[in-house]
Structure 1
Amino acid sequence: MKKFSMLLILLSVFMMLVACNSTKENTAFNCESPVDHSKNSCKEETSAMRTIQTVKGRVDIPINPKRIVDLAYTSEQLLIMGYTPVMSSTGLNGKTPSYLNGKLDNTVFVSPQTVKIEDIVAAKPDLIISNSRTEKMYDQLSKIAPTIYLENDLYSWRKQFPELGRFLGKEKEVDAWFEQYSEKAKKIGDEIKAKFPGETFTLYVTNATEYRIYGRSLLGDVLFTDMELPAAKGVPLGKPDSTVEIVSLDTIYSLQPDQIFVGYYAFEPNAEELVQSRFKDFVSNPLFNRLKAAKEGKVYSMVGEEWHQSEYQLGKEQVLETIRQKVLGTK
């Protein structure tokens, strides 16, 4: 009888072990140090979550998030990875940019600086993307849903995109995008340099209070880094962090680039009309029109959506075509 009882106990233990092993159908990954850009060490785990290490600590995130709230200007990165956010910070005045028509039709656009916690709760996220722009809200956000805090921002997008890709396990998609974008940018840049050998380029930008010359930032980054166009005298490329320089009109009118891109932006509330007026005065000034580029018809206006295209990944693809059309007259 005792032998029979012992057999029953052993059989029960065996069945429990089998049941435990059968729960490993859903595999997650434990990325111990994805912040270390030199490697991505992941271990299989037995859960439907993925454990990542961010600068804010370890976070368990869904392997396949369905309702992502983007508060770090990463929506176009998410689209490239195959995700459609339910809330996005990359809208143009609260609307979908035309080049994204059909891609974010059901997405709510918000500003990271003014978004309300109750609106985020109402979005019922299963994952939130945050960075320094919403750092003060991090503790609140992490109580709503698993929150990825990114070290990098919009202006360091070459680091931010791979960083998010590692956290989400989408490194291949990120690498593929960089490869095709780099090839396209170089091709169009080479076409422009072949048509205008030795000519130099500059980018002047107006806002509500300042005139600026752009180096490796936003549209300037596309022109001088991605397309490798020759920069004119005065373009701030001397230091890696020297991307924008505030200048006077006298400085602008004293420089003589061969070709000029001009743009404006109005982030301040109700400043659009003022900035438009300043921009119009700038490009219609007789001194501006005495510049070599102006006299030869090599001034290209990049305003409104054309300016904002340079901020995000899919927009960068579009702005390459915009530049090709304006400079070469071809699509």
Structure 2
Amino acid sequence: MKKILIAMLIMIILISVGCSNEPSNDLNEEQQEDKNTETITYKSENGDIEVPKNPQRIVVLYGTLSGHVMALDGNIVGVEKWSMDNPNYEGYLDNAVEVSDENIEKIMDLDPDLIITGSTNKNLDKFQKIAPTVSFTYGKLGYLEQYLEVGKLMNKEDEAKKWIDNFRAKAKKSGEDIKAKIGEDSTVSVIEGDNKQMYVFGDNWGRGTEILYKEMGLKMPEKVKEDALKEGYFALSSEVLPEYSGDYIVFSKNTEGDNSFQETKTYKNIPAVKNNRVLEVDTNKFNFNDPISLDYQLDKFIEFFLGQ
């Protein structure tokens, strides 16, 4: 009996020693927590802000910036309605809920470690009490500079630079091929709207305009240049649309809107329409100029102009 008791005691001692040599899960969790709470100093347009080096729970309240965060694999837990409704973002927002800048308590419940919003947001002071909050002014930076800034904010500047270089090279080459096919002097208009209100766009208001005019170097009609280039967009009626139509048209179309103007003689007699040179795209997928949207838009243009 004594032998059995001694054997059992030795076994218990050996098991205890073995367990003490195993890595501590608690320690690993603490180390991980320390890693997630490391900070960097981001030089924002409003001064230096201490932000997480590796943000884990991000709330984005500015539709033009959410795609930048997604492209850098940021985990978005709260985002505004425009982003939630964008088909291009399907799969990126599985962990997110819809919020607005009025949902202070809801945002607080999400326990964010970083909030990104626009500079005109009236609740900035309230958000700053919840988590480090960085605001951006739309149009203050070029569209690719904006992505680089978000890369700096998320401590992923090198990834942003790499994407920018690859994107610009692809767009430039595609632009050269397109001009060789349609002619250096051919013009392209980008329009949006319906029977109630139409818009034509310059070169910095999303809808693929940055790609067409800035990266590819395609030309816009003189009338568009006169009225839309400075402000970025120009409102007009469908009756005067022919005056702003180029040799090719990109129509950012809201399928739920009243598009009956497309059945009028005025529209059907536009040369680009008669010659089947209109690219109709989903306005929800073409609104923004983040990397996800830009990649989608560029592929659409290559397919339309070059048939690839």
Q: TM-score range by the shorter chain?
A: 0.7 to 0.9
Aligned to 2:286: 307
Q: Is the 8 A contact 1:68 1:86 kept in 2?
A: yes
Q: Is the 8 A contact 2:202 2:228 kept in 1?
A: no
Amino acid at match of 1:122: D
Which of 129, 142, 150 aligns to 1:143? It is 129
Residue 142 (structure 1) shift: 0.6
Aligned to 1:226: 215
Q: Is the 8 A contact 1:236 1:243 kept in 2?
A: no
**Structure 2 unmatched ranges of 5 or more:** 1-33
Determine the C-alpha separation between the residues in 2 that align with 1:108 and 1:153: 27
Q: Is the 8 A contact 1:89 1:111 kept in 2?
A: yes
Within 5 Å, give how 1:143-182 maps onto structure 2. Answer: 143-152=129-138, 156-182=142-168
Determine the C-alpha separation between the residues in 1 that align with 2:272 and 2:138: 37
Which of 178, 182, 198 aligns to 1:211? It is 198
Name the one with the larger helix percent: 2
Within 5 Å, give how 1:1-331 maps onto structure 2. Answer: 48-73=38-63, 74-89=65-80, 91-92=82-83, 94-95=84-85, 97=87, 99-112=88-101, 115-134=102-121, 136-152=122-138, 156-197=142-183, 198-206=185-193, 209-216=196-203, 217-219=205-207, 220-236=209-225, 241-254=230-243, 257-265=246-254, 273=256, 276-277=257-258, 280-308=259-287, 310-330=288-308
Q: TM-score, normalised by structure 2?
A: 0.76
Determine the C-alpha separation between the residues in 1 that align with 2:267 and 2:141: 30
Q: TM-score, normalised by structure 1?
A: 0.72
Residue 154 (structure 1) shift: 9.2
Residue 321 (structure 1) shift: 1.1
Q: Which has the higher contact order (CA 8 A, sep 6+)?
A: 2
1:32-79 Cα shifts (integer Å, max 9, x gaps): xxxxxxxxxxxxxxx822233434444322111111111123222123
Q: Is the 8 A contact 2:178 2:305 kept in 1?
A: yes
Amino acid at match of 1:313: P
Determine the C-alpha separation between the residues in 2 that align with 1:150 and 1:199: 36
Aligned to 2:24: none
Equivalences, count? 271
Percent identity, aligned pairs only, is 25
**Structure 1 unmatched ranges of 5 or more:** 1-25, 29-46, 266-271
Q: Is the 8 A contact 1:151 1:160 kept in 2?
A: no
> Aligned-residue CA RMSD in angstroms?
2.9
Q: Is the 8 A contact 2:147 2:290 kept in 1?
A: no
Q: Would the alpha carbon gap of residues 126 and 254 (structure 1) be closer, same or farther in structure 2, given more than 3 Å must change?
A: closer
Residue 208 (structure 1) shift: 7.1
Aligned to 2:31: none
Q: Would the alpha carbon gap of residues 284 and 207 (structure 1) be closer, same or farther in structure 2, given more than 3 Å must change?
A: closer
